[in-house]
Amino acid sequence: MIANMAAEWEEATLGDVSTKITKGTTPTTLGYEFVPEGVNFVKVESITDDGRLLPQKFAHITNETHQALSRSVLEKDDILFSIAGAIGRSALVNNDVLPANTNQAVAIVRPDVGKVSPRFLAFLLQDKKVVRFTNSIVAQSVQANINLQQLSGLEIPLPSLEEQRSIAAVLSSLDDKIELLRKQNETLEQIAQAIFNEWFVKPTADGSLPDGWQMAGLTDIADFLNGIALQKYPAIDGEPSLPAIKIRELKAGITEATDKVNAGVPAQYIIEDGDLLFSWSGSLEVVLWRYGKGALNQHLFKVSSDKYPQWFVYLWLLHHLPDFRTIAANKATTMGHIQRHHLDQAEVVVPDEKTLSDADALLAPIFNKVIANNSQLGLLPSLRDALLPQLMSGEIRV
């Protein structure tokens, strides 16, 4: 798999630099059950494409089950690597998620710290070349997974431990900044929602309205522009193109898997950073776009208003999102979705002009900070992804 690397670096296999490569077991195959709370149980969907573990996606098992699945008890600095399903996702285990276990779709790589830095190895396994290579193994096989022997034989470049640590430090600094911005935005949005609820939701919960306030529907305060069938605008070699923004891009951003379309898409369907998007089908999400210019596909709304601040529309959408998801989940015979009349019927409270202005003085700065953070959150992961393969090949030395 090694295409090029610095001349003085060594070549090794993943097995050479690991004390253990194994995988987990699904508890139910041994007669155990999942429980609402307990020891964390990591599945493929708990691992993101950018190397994070999502606690909200963990299942849970009892301590008894955890001990019974002793082969796959996780330790600090283990690296998880998905070998079935979404192949090639990887993440480093830290103390925050322990105690934890995992299933047979996830391999456990335990680094030999005398040979390799766990953080360096974790970053190396996130290199898109590794992900593409492991997926190519599956494409050439009759099985929809890779086995532990194939994973163990994965060829890797091996700089000195000192250089490994330097490489990991550079990439970790970017990851730390990205995570800090994410957490800042989570906190800012929680603050904004709390203020919003105190100003607009709680005072009108009994149906009474202060003087000058009125009830309206979501479609009264914003325009909902549905995307178009982008297959009608195929990318043409040699001509300008745009990434197609579909439901998966709302969370994953623009990736190698993102489709391209001709840049001649009608102007109203061109999306820019800071635009408010709402997926009304499949996975219902409300997102402030941050991944650069793109084209809006069907099943997504661009939500805008020339009458009210963006934060006002955004927070009312978030307020109704749980109800919209419930409506979509009850569409038993089709892919879950909502219809425009659900937007019409979703009640919002519109305050008098002075109250809205006073609220804007509080909430607009918070919202502007979120958008500013978003601009960095769109840029930094791209910088990290561009830097990672250059560091891992020795093209850039630190």
pLDDT score of 277: 98
DSSP single-letter state for residue 6: -
Residue 203 has pLDDT above 60, yes or no: yes
Same domain, 202 and 349: yes
- CA 382 to CA 365: how far, in whole Å? 27
- CA 285 to CA 303: how far, in whole Å? 12
Residue 296 has pLDDT above 60, yes or no: yes
The CATH number of residue 98's host domain is 3.90.220.20
Same domain, 125 and 265: no
Same domain, 273 and 147: no
Domains held by the chain: number: 2
Same domain, 240 and 372: yes
Model confidence at 122, pLDDT cuts 50, 70, 90, reads very high
User: Positive or negative CA dihedral for 32, 36, 40, 45?
Assistant: positive
Model confidence at 138, pLDDT cuts 50, 70, 90, reads confident
**Alpha helical stretches, state H, 197-262:** 218-221, 247-252
- CA 398 to CA 385: how far, in whole Å? 17
| Mean pLDDT value of segment 69-91 | 95
Q: Which of 159-168, 250-259, 266-275, 366-375 has the lowest mean pLDDT?
A: 250-259
In a domain, 393, yes or no: no
Model confidence at 275, pLDDT cuts 50, 70, 90, reads very high
Peptide bond connecting 243 to the previous residue in cis, omega within 30 degrees of 0:
no
In a domain, 1, yes or no: no
In a domain, 199, yes or no: yes
In a domain, 290, yes or no: yes
- Among residues 129, 158, 187, the one where a domain terminates is 158
pLDDT score of 1: 65
CA angle centred on 378, ends 373 and 379, rounded to 5°? 100
Same domain, 236 and 142: no
Same domain, 128 and 22: yes
In a domain, 397, yes or no: no
Same domain, 262 and 338: yes
CA distance from start to end of the chain: 23
Residue 285 has pLDDT above 70, yes or no: yes
In a domain, 2, yes or no: no
Same domain, 152 and 214: no
Residue 340 has pLDDT above 60, yes or no: yes
CB 44 within 8 A of CB 122: no
Residue 242 has pLDDT above 80, yes or no: yes
Residue range 300-334, pLDDT digits in tens = 999 999 999 999 999 999 999 999 999 988 875 56
Same domain, 50 and 142: yes
pLDDT score of 211: 92
What's the whole-model pTM score? 0.86
Residue-wise DSSP of 101-170: EE-TTEEEEEE-TTT--HHHHHHHHHSHHHHHHHHHHHHTSSSSB--HHHHHT-EEEE--HHHHHHHHHH
Q: Which residues contact 295 (CB under 8 A, 6 or more apart)?
A: 227, 230, 233, 242, 243, 244, 245, 261, 265, 269, 270, 271
Q: Which of 190-194, 253-257, 355-359 has the lowest mean pLDDT?
A: 253-257
In a domain, 135, yes or no: yes
| Mean pLDDT value of segment 386-397 | 93
Model confidence at 205, pLDDT cuts 50, 70, 90, reads confident
Kindly list the distances between the CA atom of residue 265 and the CA atoms of 26, 272, 279, in Å, as whole numbers in the listed order.
Answer: 47, 14, 20
Q: How many alpha carbons fall within 13 Å on the CB side of residue 252?
A: 16
In a domain, 299, yes or no: yes
Same domain, 50 and 141: yes
Same domain, 39 and 110: yes
Q: What's the domain range around 35?
A: 10-158
Same domain, 108 and 196: no
